[in-house]
Structure 1
Amino acid sequence: MLTRPVLVFDGDCGFCTAAVRVLERKVRPRCATTPWQRADLAALGVRQERARREVLWVTPAGAVHGGAQAVAKLLMSAGSGWRIVGAVLTLPPTRWAAAGVYRLIADNRHRLPGGTPDCALPETASRGS
């Protein structure tokens, strides 16, 4: 049973790991963070295919938010001005734009600073999104 939200990310991806560490230091979200490779995905109610494709925010009640909406939930958990930024990311049309930007970054994370070939998504995952 979760007592606080969990952010699930790709621990094999240097870009993702670095981004989570920066968020922990600068934004200070109120959540646990764990690479999907070490998480009990079944207990979280998450399929491995989804965890490989996008960052996930899992609430203690079992709700799962992915991609840009997971980032929005993380920001809202931090309080202060971050809460406002996160809330804006949940509203149309910002929500739609955020989803597009998130997918662009996720599909190209192996090309970003800290990224490695291990960061590349499988072809079927990136096309199926």
Structure 2
Amino acid sequence: MRERPLLVYDGDCGFCTSAVRFGERRVRPRCEPVPWQFTDLDALGVTTDRAEHEVLWVTPAGTVYGGARAVAKALLSAPGAWPLLGALMMLRPLRWAADGLYRLVAANRHRLPGGTPACAAPPRTPRGRTPS
């Protein structure tokens, strides 16, 4: 069993990689950041589709948090004042705002600093259908 949580992110996305590197330098969460492309997603109980669309926080016990909740968990694990921000992000009214902001950033990460067209997440398809 791992001792530290994993922060699973899109290693092909320049924006995502830059954000994780910034977090490592400034926020210093207590986790192991790993690109999903170099992770055994099946062992984590995570689908490729989910990993392509959101950052994931995977606890040593195997609980998976995605999107804004993963960011909040990373902040909660950090030293200093960061856990306060993480705790606020988990409160219901602010959690909804954090979820919306996360989805907005994730959908437009290819347009943000460090992003490239390769950063655009593939479109989601309804279950049982393949993209045309």
Please report the TM-score for the alignment, with normalisation by the length of structure 2: 0.92
2: CA distance, partners of 1:95 / 1:102: 10
Identity of aligned residues (%): 65
Deviations 1:60-101 (A, max 9, x none): 011000000000000000032001100000001000000000
1: CA distance, partners of 2:47 / 2:119: 19
1: CA distance, partners of 2:35 / 2:87: 25
- Say what the alpha-carbon RMSD is for the aligned residues: 0.8
Q: How many residues align?
A: 125
Moved over 3 A (4+): none
1:17 aligns with 2:17: yes
The residue number in structure 1 matching 2:129 is none
The residue number in structure 2 matching 1:66 is 66
The residue number in structure 2 matching 1:89 is 89
1: CA distance, partners of 2:100 / 2:38: 28
1: CA distance, partners of 2:123 / 2:34: 24
Please report the TM-score for the alignment, with normalisation by the length of structure 1: 0.94
Deviations 1:28-85 (A, max 9, x none): 0000000000011111111111000100000001100000000000000003200110
1: CA distance, partners of 2:79 / 2:89: 14
1:117 aligns with 2:117: yes
